[in-house]
Structure 1
């Protein structure tokens, strides 16, 4: 019975969303406060209904209710409780329900924390959000019902895909969806602004916190997904330019451009049209990613390869919302008043340059992702676009962007002094060049690439520190005064510095892992050794392991240096009988910023086991940098100027005779 209540709650949520999509919009047009007040109430009710529906599906998984088809296809009574719960979104139907839950959550957040928004703007934003909610609730109810019952339930389920039974992938989808779906708020703000015809600095200030929230969560989701693929798939790589990986990377790039563009609009009321366009484009890429993952057009470990008819439905959603948004943009963009002017050499100019590189990089990833699909659809020819294409197109765009990043915060608004900014960066430039020379001296393979990458990464990090030092007045003012000014800097200044420094750290990790890592593939018996990264890895043998819903062959490896044991790792090959699927569980040991990575291969006919051992130099910097970016986003969000948003303007008091006197 509780399953039917969850299904009914979704139907009620659809009816509520329909009310929310129309009544506040009409109220905004008529300036009817009562009708506009329906929006927040409907948004909260929609969230309660969808949350209840999601909890009922979760309950069905927890108790292993195999009368529900979705539970049968994705659960097993012997599966650990954690993966019973995460199995709710480890499939197409459940993950779409999570998608909609996060969508209505953001609507409810706007309804409750957007009370300082103008009534008309909030009403239009909530209506736009409701249109998206209606579309995806219809998609779930008509094509992807997670509550479908079985007349003759089986005694046992088919289990969850084994590669999804991992803590990293348990939290990866919610983080990713909070980013994907979070950009719907920026989209709805853009639609509301186009409907109302109001676009000013206050609008940008309202949009920026929501965009920053989505960007921070999307950064976390991509980072977690990258690390999961690195350790769970047993291939030793952290990024494959997989089309589904690209589907999450494109909104991240566009969202980064949107953050910087909204900053220019807030400070200078410039780039209005461009900011609205980016708000639409960023969520467009989120919808495109949803289509690619769920249409069945891609084969990927990340994708839900489902009935293509569902893909047609999502393609229709994408066409309606994105096509409609661009049509509205085309009708109203020319009526938007242009903002303030600024010189090419200025902070605004630096942010515009940032936007140009980011959007061009996004277009490059888009072409590389969609071209093979379009070519196959039109000609039947199958081609593969992989790392070589992206390295030759995306990489060169990132180099000048990274070089330009430290200059932006040091330039003044409206008209900047490039030479003055360069002088303040002399120390950073000098140290970075020295880093490059040292790297080149000690590098044999690709020394120029390694030196350039390390030097640019160091320059970005030191540039971020230079900005903080410059703003505090260190070196120009007494130490006590400089320290007081440093502590008094707004949190957004620290957030920007952390995010930029994180970008530099990630770049260093990428370069070091690409140039200095080594790989050894050996057929080993117990007692055999292999050298990697200055360590000796000795294979001790295999043992059988019985898990709750799998069996495994686990290999023990002893790591020593200079004859002394320093660590032990285990690597395993698991087999899940319910799914008849094997998985590889890599053994990883971290030494400083580097990692020793051991993965088991197949058993040869002579009884030897194939073992792959990688030495991953500085690979952890890749994820340390993303963590620093997330901290930067959180620090910026904690800035009081972003927390309070843009307050309403108080009415100017009447001038009385006493006041004049």
Structure 2
């Protein structure tokens, strides 16, 4: 009976979403305050309904209700409780329900925090979110219901959760990713509401920017956690592999980054209006496309959900309706949103525009590499694979150009900049190039321009931002902190985070060393000046697996003990899969990474030793980006009052 109640709540949530799609929108069109007033109650009703559905699905996992097909396929009575609850979003059906719930969270947040915004405007925003929610809720109910029963023959136990997902990463990575994905639907809803009103002004940008920042933070967290999970979960220690599903979450992040910078120009200068709307539509479109890639079965990936093509067609229909309708509305309204602002080539506006164009080109290159094998195969051209060599060759030069532009833009003025004001940047440029050459000369495989470019751009970002901070602190009257507002410091910290990630990625990509050896009790091996001594092998039983764990001591060049790592191999009872758990001694400047492979005989194992310099700077940089974006949100914490936004919307509506 409990699963049926969850099913009822899903239906109820769909009904609330449908009502939210129609009633406030109709009220906004008729300027009917009574109909508009339903926007918040309907939103809260939708949120509560899907929250109850999620709660009931979690309860089904908690009590091991294997009469529910989704629970039987993704859980087991021996599965630890934390993974039972995380399994709610560990498969296609449950993750789709969580996706719908995430939209409801964002909609409820707008209803709660948007009370001072014009009622007509919020009615349109919430109605658009209701339409999106209704589409995905209908998809879940018709094709992917997580409450479907296995009756009358109920299995005695479940098939267990995929062993690869039995990790703490499952608890945090998918929710952060989904909240980031879905968060861009909020900016999309704001953009559609602005198009409907016929006005796009600074107030719109000021209101939507914090929501875009919040979505960007969640998506950054999701990508960073996924990268970290891949690093310590996979035996080869990869942190990014240009997998199609990785690309599906990376592309909206790139466009979202462009959108954030475009919103700044719209807010401060009143220009880039059409461009900002277009980016908002594209970011949302790419989240839908990513959903299609992951759930349609058109690509093969370790990250993809096993889904049939019929489900993919449903998502494709949603993609066509929402994207096609929004672009049609954009085409009809674009001429009304032209900006009168003018600026010269050497200006901050031009630099930001060029940066946005480069970000879109980078997105297009990733999209092409992701979909090309599918398109070629569908046209009878055979099966091909597009891997890291393509992406590194095409994406990296664009990214490095963007990093150079980031440092330059700080010193450009709005509208017009004198060329001679950029002369002081020659010194940071020279130091950066020298640093890149110096580091590249020490690459074990030989001098390479990629290292020069990577290190030089990281140092360039650090020096230019340091110089700009110095100029902000010092003026003609001495030193001052007045210019260091939270918005500026948020930008500064986020950009330093980019520099840290670029430095870490460059160093680990070109200076990593590894060695595959056979090890057992009493064996030792050396790598990068460290000695690894295999002491013993332990055997123990987990809640749903058996484990063999190696105990390996690590000594430095002076034979001093610095760490003990315990890589292991887990064999899961139900599915029989074997998964490795790496032993990692982490540090700020290097990680020592030990992966325990297949047994060679009773005492010997294949072991892979890796030395990974500065790899953690990748995730330190990601954390700094999120902290910076959080500071920028705090600078916009005070929502616009009614007088800030009511005039444009009321005029358009009239």
TM-score when normalising by structure 2: 0.96
2:26 equivalent in structure 1 = 26
Task: Give the stretch that moved more between structures: 601-610 or 241-250.
Answer: 601-610
Name the CA distance, whole Å, in 1 between partners of 2:88 and 2:527: 41
Structure 1 residue 9 corresponds to structure 2 residue 3: no
Structure 1 residue 502 corresponds to structure 2 residue 497: yes
Q: Any runs of at least 4 consecutive aligned residues in structure 1 with deviations exceeding 4 A, and if so which?
A: none
Q: What is the DSSP-based 3-state SS (H/G/I as helix, E as strand, rest coil) of the residue aligned with 1:410?
A: coil
2:632 equivalent in structure 1 = 636
Which deviations, in whole Å up to 9, do the C-alpha atoms of 1:470-501 show, x marking residues without a partner?
A: 21217x543xx43x43xx62101111001111
1:534 equivalent in structure 2 = 529
Task: Give the stretch that moved more between structures: 392-401 or 643-652.
Answer: 643-652
Task: Give the stretch that moved more between structures: 329-338 or 94-103.
Answer: 329-338
Name the CA distance, whole Å, in 2 between partners of 1:583 and 1:419: 60
Once superposed, what is the RMSD of the aligned Cα atoms? 1.7
Which deviations, in whole Å up to 9, do the C-alpha atoms of 1:525-576 show, x marking residues without a partner?
A: 3222221221111122322121100011111111001122111001111111
Q: What is the DSSP-based 3-state SS (H/G/I as helix, E as strand, rest coil) of the residue aligned with 2:217?
A: helix
Name the CA distance, whole Å, in 1 between partners of 2:377 and 2:601: 40
Q: CA deviation at 1:606?
A: 8.6
Q: CA deviation at 1:582?
A: 1.2
Which deviations, in whole Å up to 9, do the C-alpha atoms of 1:149-198 show, x marking residues without a partner?
A: 22222221111111111112320000001110000011111111112211
Q: What is the DSSP-based 3-state SS (H/G/I as helix, E as strand, rest coil) of the residue aligned with 2:552?
A: strand
Structure 1 residue 278 corresponds to structure 2 residue 279: yes
2:374 equivalent in structure 1 = 373
- Distance of aligned partners of 1:433 and 1:150 in 2 relative to their CA distance in 1, 3 Å threshold: same
1:93 equivalent in structure 2 = 93
Name the CA distance, whole Å, in 2 between partners of 1:635 and 1:470: 21
Runs (5+) with no aligned partner, structure 1: 653-661
1:625 equivalent in structure 2 = 621
- Distance of aligned partners of 1:446 and 1:366 in 2 relative to their CA distance in 1, 3 Å threshold: farther
Q: CA deviation at 1:446?
A: 4.1
Aligned pair partner of 2:539 in 541, 544, 551: 544
2:585 equivalent in structure 1 = 589
Alignment of 1:254-273 (within 5 A): 254-273=255-274
1:60 equivalent in structure 2 = 60
- Distance of aligned partners of 1:241 and 1:165 in 2 relative to their CA distance in 1, 3 Å threshold: same
Name the CA distance, whole Å, in 1 between partners of 2:376 and 2:452: 38
2:560 equivalent in structure 1 = 564
Name the CA distance, whole Å, in 1 between partners of 2:4 and 2:602: 57
Q: CA deviation at 1:112?
A: 1.3
> Does structure 2 retain, via aligned residues, the 8 Å contact 1:271–1:339?
no
Task: Give the stretch that moved more between structures: 185-194 or 242-251.
Answer: 185-194
Aligned pair partner of 1:598 in 594, 597, 620: 594
> Does structure 2 retain, via aligned residues, the 8 Å contact 1:407–1:422?
no
Q: CA deviation at 1:140?
A: 0.7
Name the CA distance, whole Å, in 1 between partners of 2:617 and 2:309: 39
Name the CA distance, whole Å, in 2 between partners of 1:218 and 1:295: 22
Which deviations, in whole Å up to 9, do the C-alpha atoms of 1:604-633 show, x marking residues without a partner?
A: 369632111110011111111101101111
Alignment of 1:240-389 (within 5 A): 240-379=241-380, 381-389=382-390
Name the CA distance, whole Å, in 1 between partners of 2:419 and 2:111: 44
Aligned pair partner of 1:520 in 507, 512, 515: 515
Name the CA distance, whole Å, in 2 between partners of 1:464 and 1:493: 11
Name the CA distance, whole Å, in 2 between partners of 1:540 and 1:441: 38
Name the CA distance, whole Å, in 2 between partners of 1:582 and 1:297: 27
Name the CA distance, whole Å, in 2 between partners of 1:462 and 1:501: 10
Q: CA deviation at 1:435?
A: 2.2
1:163 equivalent in structure 2 = 164
Q: CA deviation at 1:391?
A: 0.9
- Distance of aligned partners of 1:64 and 1:651 in 2 relative to their CA distance in 1, 3 Å threshold: closer
Q: CA deviation at 1:422?
A: 4.3
Name the CA distance, whole Å, in 1 between partners of 2:645 and 2:526: 75
Q: What is the DSSP-based 3-state SS (H/G/I as helix, E as strand, rest coil) of the residue aligned with 1:539?
A: strand
> Does structure 2 retain, via aligned residues, the 8 Å contact 1:272–1:339?
no
Q: CA deviation at 1:268?
A: 1.0
Which deviations, in whole Å up to 9, do the C-alpha atoms of 1:203-246 show, x marking residues without a partner?
A: 11111111110011100100000010111121111110000000
Q: CA deviation at 1:437?
A: 4.0
Aligned pair partner of 2:487 in 465, 485, 492: 492
Q: What is the DSSP-based 3-state SS (H/G/I as helix, E as strand, rest coil) of the residue aligned with 1:220?
A: helix
- Distance of aligned partners of 1:650 and 1:393 in 2 relative to their CA distance in 1, 3 Å threshold: closer
Runs (5+) with no aligned partner, structure 2: 647-654
Task: Give the stretch that moved more between structures: 354-363 or 60-69.
Answer: 60-69
Q: CA deviation at 1:419?
A: 3.2
Structure 1 residue 646 corresponds to structure 2 residue 640: yes
Which deviations, in whole Å up to 9, do the C-alpha atoms of 1:495-529 show, x marking residues without a partner?
A: 10011111011000011001110010112232222
Task: Give the stretch that moved more between structures: 320-329 or 332-341.
Answer: 332-341
Structure 1 residue 72 corresponds to structure 2 residue 72: yes
> Does structure 2 retain, via aligned residues, the 8 Å contact 1:298–1:305?
no
1:655 equivalent in structure 2 = none
Structure 1 residue 392 corresponds to structure 2 residue 399: no
Task: Give the stretch that moved more between structures: 435-444 or 185-194.
Answer: 435-444
Q: CA deviation at 1:643?
A: 1.4
Q: What is the DSSP-based 3-state SS (H/G/I as helix, E as strand, rest coil) of the residue aligned with 1:527?
A: coil
Structure 1 residue 554 corresponds to structure 2 residue 546: no
Alignment of 1:165-204 (within 5 A): 165-204=166-205
1:580 equivalent in structure 2 = 576
Number of equivalenced pairs: 643
Name the CA distance, whole Å, in 1 between partners of 2:233 and 2:623: 20
TM-score when normalising by structure 1: 0.95
> Does structure 2 retain, via aligned residues, the 8 Å contact 1:4–1:147?
yes
Name the CA distance, whole Å, in 1 between partners of 2:288 and 2:140: 15
Q: CA deviation at 1:450?
A: 1.9
Q: What is the DSSP-based 3-state SS (H/G/I as helix, E as strand, rest coil) of the residue aligned with 1:649?
A: helix
Name the CA distance, whole Å, in 1 between partners of 2:541 and 2:411: 59
